[in-house]
Amino acid sequence: MSHYKVERLKINYKTLEEFQKFREYGLQELSMLEDLQANIIENDSNSPFYGIYLDGNLIARASLYRIDAKYDRYFDPPQDYYELWKLEVLPQYRHRGCGTALVEHAKSLGLPIKTNARCRSDEFWKKMGFIPVKYDPVRDRGENPYVWTPPGVSLKE
Amino acid sequence: MSHYKVERLKINYKTLEEFQKFREYGLQELSMLEDLQANIIENDSNSPFYGIYLDGNLIARASLYRIDAKYDRYFDPPQDYYELWKLEVLPQYRHRGCGTALVEHAKSLGLPIKTNARCRSDEFWKKMGFIPVKYDPVRDRGENPYVWTPPGVSLKE
């Protein structure tokens, strides 16, 4: 579906340096850096991030975090699913299918996916086959949750 | 501290029309609109949003949502606090203190506040007296939480 190769990113100094180019760089990335410096995690450990390289440079990334079924408040029956966040393509590489490749990769893992569609990205997520949930103020707290479900999975009423 | 007047926003068609000018317009706003259309909420009900008007137009807004102490995973002792989200000033009115006025208003309510500092806004939040939490992957799930505490409130270890 795409000519981009999606790779699971390793936690090492090179990856964390690449992350600094992205807009959504924050406590999660700093925490990974600190853990690396303190030898709490190994160099080249697997991270929750997936990405696309072009000529050796990271140009797009997303994080996929597996949520245990017991915390599921979106799907019926309750089940393990992925939260997808920090989907970001560097500005000069947008509109070439990198975002689509990352989302298709996430879907290929076979579990439902929940994301927070930010900054009026609703059309992108709908194109990716995601649907908006019915907003629940207590659960969603200002988020804009969109979900994708594999066959046989429904949304919680 | 600021010459801007912060008002609690009413849920009515005018407010929801004003909301369309903001970048973070999504399921929360659509849900309010549907509730209004279905008469589930009254016209002119209080919303969780606060805002600033200039010449009759809404130019800045933020949502403050009170979280019950039993769900508190940030403060010690656990207590009611506010989650602040969708702090946004329309582009042409930025750098005049509107964001500061909204945050000062939130602080004046006397409870701790938690926000998600997005898009490298860390310096703004630090200037507002907020501090970054220690990132917890299970709790924070890719967020960039910054908190403000009134005297006598500590961060959970």
Is residue B147 one of the residues assigned to a domain? yes
Is residue A1 one of the residues assigned to a domain? no
Which among A74, A95, A94 has a CA at the least distance from the CA of A83? A74
pTM of the model: 0.91
- Measured CA to CA, the distance from residue B35 to residue B53 in angstroms comes to 24
Whether the bond between B150 and the residue before it is cis, its omega within 30 degrees of 0, is no
State percent of chain B over pLDDT 90: 84
Residue with tokens 């190769």: A5
Residue of A nearest to B137 (CA): A28
DSSP, collapsed to helix, strand or coil, labels residue A112 as coil
- Give the domain extent around B106: 6-155
* Domains in chain A, number: 1
Is residue B14 one of the residues assigned to a domain? yes
- Measured CA to CA, the distance from residue A65 to residue A139 in angstroms comes to 18
Is residue A63 one of the residues assigned to a domain? yes
Which among A81, A79, A77, A84 has a CA at the least distance from the CA of A154? A77
Chain B CB within 8 Å of residue A12 CB: no
- Measured CA to CA, the distance from residue A63 to residue A8 in angstroms comes to 10
Could you read off the pLDDT tens digit of each residue along chain A, which spans 157 residues? 568 999 999 999 999 999 999 999 999 999 999 999 988 887 778 889 999 999 999 999 999 999 999 999 999 999 999 999 999 999 999 999 999 999 999 999 999 999 999 988 999 999 999 999 999 999 999 999 999 999 989 998 7
Tell me which H or E stretch contains A13: helix A13-19
Is residue B26 one of the residues assigned to a domain? yes
The whole-number pLDDT of residue B31 equals 93
Q: DSSP letter string over B112-140?
A: -EEEE--TT-HHHHHHTT-EEPPP-HHHH
End-to-end CA distance of chain A: 33
Interface of B with A in 32-91 (CB under 8 A): 48, 63, 65, 83, 85-86
Distance from the B134 Cα atom to the nearest Cα atom in chain A, whole angstroms: 8
Is residue B149 one of the residues assigned to a domain? yes
Q: Which of B74, B123, B135 to mutate to test the interface with A (most CBs of A within 10 A)?
A: B135
User: Average model confidence (pLDDT) for chain B?
Assistant: 93
- HSE of B156 in the Cβ direction (CA atoms, 13 Å)? 14
Is residue B1 one of the residues assigned to a domain? no
- Provide the pairing of β-strand B45-54 with A154-155: unpaired
Tell me which H or E stretch contains B46: strand B45-54
Distance from the A2 Cα atom to the nearest Cα atom in chain B, whole angstroms: 27
The whole-number pLDDT of residue A12 equals 93
Distance from the A4 Cα atom to the nearest Cα atom in chain B, whole angstroms: 24
CATH code, domain with B131: 3.40.630.30
